[in-house]
């Protein structure tokens, strides 16, 4: 169910689209009319895990808009706290490679006339930053944005053993990596609150990061349904 004020079925989120099975891709395209997958992965990530083949096979457009270059070491500790992830999310938005944020939001504005899906490697961090920003533009209250974010962790936890080579390479334990897969709501509510403290609004934070105001206006109009909620952006 879409949060109040957002066009139902307009925004979708996932981990790497390459992992999507044909049945899910068919449902998204035929039942939900998905048109575009906006992929935040780097070229190296795409080379390793592949293109979103199932979606492409259904005729979905692949918009490759990588968010890269931000410092990843912020969360490369065995058991990062919500505070680590808040700093990480600030870095994704404000310290990604030059041009990444404006190109991304231009692509999102271009895609927003119909249903679109945002994905990265896990669908947890870069995707969370982007989807949270979109929902904030649509006036969705922070607690609902945080609830959407928090729903990811329980879906990711069963995949912990799939990522065993990754956590073993870092010298972490299984329990350590479960912390990395967690999505406590406080991480998102704190990040959104700090964005407003630093920039005045989420919209202003996006403009400061390079997003074009016209693209944000296009996105807001495309995402919203009915009267605006009046919630701070």
What's the pLDDT score for residue 19?
A: 79
Report, as an integer, the average pLDDT of 47-51.
91
**Strand pairing report for 11-14 and 116-119:** parallel
Residue 147: other Cβ atoms inside 10 A: 15
Report, as an integer, the average pLDDT of 20-25.
93
153 contacts 181 by C-beta, under 8 angstroms: yes
Residue 98: other Cβ atoms inside 10 A: 9
CATH (domain of 190) = 3.90.190.10
How many structural domains does the chain have?
1
What's the pLDDT score for residue 15?
A: 87
Query: What whole-number percentage of the chain has pLDDT above 70?
Result: 94
For residue 24, what are its two tokens? 């899910």
Model pLDDT for residues 160-189, shown as the tens digit of each residue: 999 999 999 999 999 999 999 999 999 999
> Whose structure tokens read 């505070």?
83
- In a domain, residue 123? The reply is yes
For residue 45, what are its two tokens? 């990530």
> Whose structure tokens read 């944000």?
216
- In a domain, residue 69? The reply is yes
- In a domain, residue 227? The reply is no
68 contacts 173 by C-beta, under 8 angstroms: no
When the pLDDT of each residue in the chain is averaged and rounded to a whole number, the result is 93
Report, as an integer, the average pLDDT of 11-27.
88
Model pLDDT for residues 140-154, shown as the tens digit of each residue: 999 999 999 999 999
Model pLDDT for residues 56-81, shown as the tens digit of each residue: 999 999 999 999 999 999 999 999 99
> Whose structure tokens read 């649509």?
138
- In a domain, residue 3? The reply is no
Question: Which residues have CB under 8 Å from 90's CB, separation 6+?
Answer: 191, 194, 195
Higher pLDDT, 148 or 228: 148
95 vs 192: CA distance, rounded Å: 17
- In a domain, residue 55? The reply is yes
Domain that holds residue 98: 11-221
Question: Which residues have CB under 8 Å from 36's CB, separation 6+?
Answer: 60, 61, 62, 63, 110, 111, 114, 115, 116, 117
Residue 50: other Cβ atoms inside 10 A: 12
């Amino acid at each position: 169910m879409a949060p109040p004020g957002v066009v139902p079925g307009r925004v979708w989120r996932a981990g790497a689209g390459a992992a999507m099975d044909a049945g899910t891709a068919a449902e998204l395209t035929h039942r939900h009319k998905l048109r575009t997958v906006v992929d935040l992965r780097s070229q190296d990530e795409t080379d390793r895990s592949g293109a979103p083949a199932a979606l492409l096979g259904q005729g979905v457009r692949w918009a490759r808009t990588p968010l890269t270059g931000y410092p990843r070491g912020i969360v490369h500790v065995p058991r990062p706290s919500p505070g680590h992830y808040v700093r990480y999310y600030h870095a994704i938005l404000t310290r990604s490679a030059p041009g990444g944020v404006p190109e991304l939001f231009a692509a999102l504005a271009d895609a927003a006339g119909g249903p679109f899906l945002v994905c990265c490697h896990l669908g947890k961090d870069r995707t969370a930053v982007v989807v949270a920003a979109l929902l904030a533009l649509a006036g969705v209250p922070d607690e609902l944005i945080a609830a959407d974010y928090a729903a990811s962790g329980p879906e990711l936890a069963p995949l912990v053993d799939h990522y065993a080579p990754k956590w073993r390479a870092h010298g972490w334990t299984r329990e350590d990596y479960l912390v990395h897969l967690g999505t406590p709501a406080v991480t998102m509510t704190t990040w959104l609150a700090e964005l407003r403290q630093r920039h005045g609004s989420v919209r202003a934070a996006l403009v400061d990061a390079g997003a074009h105001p016209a693209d944000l206006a296009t996105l807001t109009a495309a995402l919203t349904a009915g009267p605006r909620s009046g919630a701070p952006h």
